[in-house]
Amino acid sequence: MSIRSLRGPAAVAALLLAVAVAAPAQPGPQAEAQLARIRALQQQRPGDGLLVHYEAMTQAQAGDRAGAVATLRRLLGRRLGLVPLADMGFDTLQDEPGFREVQAQLLAETPRTPDAPVVLRLPAGSARLIPEGIAYDARRRTHYLGSIAERRVLAVDGQGRTRPLSTAADALDAVLGLAVDAKRDRLCAVSTNGFEDSAQAQRRNAVVCWSLADSRRLLRVAVPEARQLNDLAFAPDGSLLVTDSMAGNLWRVGGDGSARRVDADGAFRGANGVAVAPDGSAAYVTASTGILRVSLPGGEPTRLPQPDDVVSGGIDGLYWADGDLVGVQNTVNPGRVLRLALADGGTRIVAATVLQSHHHPDFAEPTTGVVVDGALHVLANSYVGYWLPAGRIDDSRAPPPRAPAIVAVPLRVAPRAGTD
């Protein structure tokens, strides 16, 4: 789930917390402390353009608007795909002299890829669904979407027709990550109110599973210690790796109803998407500054080293694809799909390829995807930014203009420079 579902100061606080070493206090002191932390990281990674982007964002929040624009100019010519967005920390710069010029130049430096084909579009009446997660059942050739607004899971056939998988008796909150376990013919989803105001009275986080054969609910595992569960992925043994974005944790949920943390508390700051190596030896978790890898069944996460021309932070959904990782990046760019080439047994990133640029006409807050027949089927227009912490759609804005669409982004082979 992208933190675009949070708007204004809440979104910035969430992003800063994801980078931070300790929880922030007031916005001003938080930004000043964050700036010091970012500059400390820049001593370790002086060529990391994403840290420059975060430095500018934090300067803007600290009130140094001219300094933020000057910092953004350091990204010109690097063609990293980093774009300062108003709803992701740069709202105070909209009227600052020079900002729109720099923003336009950074956008112009992002090459346009061919537009991936739309494989499904839901009926016109579903524009307010606010879907965040997507999964696919290859046996029945059916997609599944999880709705934040309607708090349910829907099956979508090849013609875009929908039917419910979940029922009111499942008592779901907002539905985020989805995953299909083809071997065991089931689908599991994250249900949470962790990012809504209702969590202040009673916080709810659960993983819920259904049979794909007859839609029976098979399992509901409450995780009361979690703050806000987000995405999930199956391990080969049928257990689930589940991220907790607010607490910065990774959980393992078993088919027996058990739930335990994989890591030390808070070891995965900014945790969002998760992918598991096919042999179950490691999990990969997206964070604000890059991709974290942890050996399974448990260990200390480490950030994957990468070249300076790769930006792997700010990714939402993350997927394994023939030895590489594919992700939907949507917080430091309007929305694009990247393929990250791995080397040395999956312990470092050696290159990145943009499979789909932000120019796609259907992209409006793309969040997650699922690998289907050599392509990543991406949920193109989630409109998660319309969802308010009050637990409703922001009707002060123009309504979501289009029904949800799924686009098939080809998994073109990423360059393998630097591998043996």
DSSP assignment of 105-161: HHHHTSPPPPPPPEEEE--GGGTT--EEEEEEETTTTEEEEEETTTTEEEEE-TTS-
Parent domain of 63: 3-108
Last residue of a domain, one of 108, 139, 169: 108
pTM: 0.92
Token pair 């399992």: residue = 219
Same domain assignment for residues 369 and 389: yes
Count of residues for the chain? 420
Say if residues 405 and 380 touch (Cβ distance below 8 Å): yes
Same domain assignment for residues 72 and 140: no
To 10 degrees, the CA torsion angle through 175, 180, 185, 190?
A: -30
Pairing of strands 174-181, 131-137: unpaired
Q: How far apart (Å, rounded) are the C-alpha atoms in residues 341 and 349?
A: 6
pLDDT tens digit at each of 420 positions of the chain: 655 454 444 444 444 444 443 233 345 678 888 999 999 999 999 999 999 999 999 999 899 999 999 999 999 999 999 999 988 889 999 999 999 999 999 999 999 999 999 999 999 889 999 999 999 999 999 999 999 999 999 999 999 999 999 999 999 999 999 999 999 999 999 999 999 999 999 999 999 999 999 999 999 999 999 999 999 999 999 999 999 999 999 999 999 999 999 988 888 988 999 999 999 999 999 999 999 999 998 888 999 999 999 999 999 999 999 999 999 999 999 999 999 999 999 999 999 999 999 999 999 999 999 999 999 999 999 999 999 999 999 999 988 889 999 999 999 744 444 444
Same domain assignment for residues 196 and 234: yes
Residue partners of 350: CB distance under 8 A and separation at least 6 = 306, 307, 341, 342, 343, 416, 417, 418, 419
Last residue of a domain, one of 86, 108, 130: 108
| 415 is a domain residue | no
Token pair 């900014």: residue = 270
Residue 265 CB burial class (10 angstroms; 0-12, 13-18, ≥19): exposed
Q: How far apart (Å, rounded) are the C-alpha atoms in residues 252 and 259?
A: 6
| 67 is a domain residue | yes
Same domain assignment for residues 179 and 235: yes
Q: How far apart (Å, rounded) are the C-alpha atoms in residues 187 and 263?
A: 25
- What pLDDT score does 335 carry? 97
- What pLDDT score does 181 carry? 98
- What pLDDT score does 87 carry? 85
- What pLDDT score does 30 carry? 81
Last residue of a domain, one of 90, 108, 126: 108
Structure tokens at 153: 């899971």
| 371 is a domain residue | yes
| CATH number for the domain that contains residue 332 | 2.120.10.30
Same domain assignment for residues 312 and 167: yes
Same domain assignment for residues 75 and 26: yes
| 264 is a domain residue | yes
Kindly state the greatest CA–CA separation across the chain.
Answer: 60
Residue 77 CB burial class (10 angstroms; 0-12, 13-18, ≥19): exposed
Say if residues 398 and 364 touch (Cβ distance below 8 Å): no
Q: What 3-state class would DSSP assign to 282?
A: strand
| 417 is a domain residue | no
Beta-strand runs (E) in 124-278: 131-137, 142-147, 152-156, 162-164, 174-181, 186-192, 205-211, 217-222, 229-234, 240-244, 249-253, 259-261, 274-276
Same domain assignment for residues 66 and 189: no
- What pLDDT score does 2 carry? 58
Same domain assignment for residues 55 and 182: no
Residue 40 CB burial class (10 angstroms; 0-12, 13-18, ≥19): exposed
Same domain assignment for residues 161 and 308: yes
Same domain assignment for residues 205 and 336: yes
Say if residues 229 and 208 touch (Cβ distance below 8 Å): no
Residue from 214, 160, 163 nearest 187 by CA: 214
Please give the tally of structural domains in the chain. 2
| 418 is a domain residue | no
Same domain assignment for residues 40 and 96: yes
Structure tokens at 31: 């930004």
User: CB atoms < 10 A from the CB of 254, how many?
Assistant: 15
DSSP element (H, E) containing 61: helix 49-62
| 103 is a domain residue | yes
| 419 is a domain residue | no
- What pLDDT score does 265 carry? 80
DSSP element (H, E) containing 14: helix 9-19
CA 162 to the chain's CA centroid: 24
Same domain assignment for residues 140 and 12: no
Q: How far apart (Å, rounded) are the C-alpha atoms in residues 68 and 58?
A: 8
Q: What 3-state class would DSSP assign to 386?
A: helix
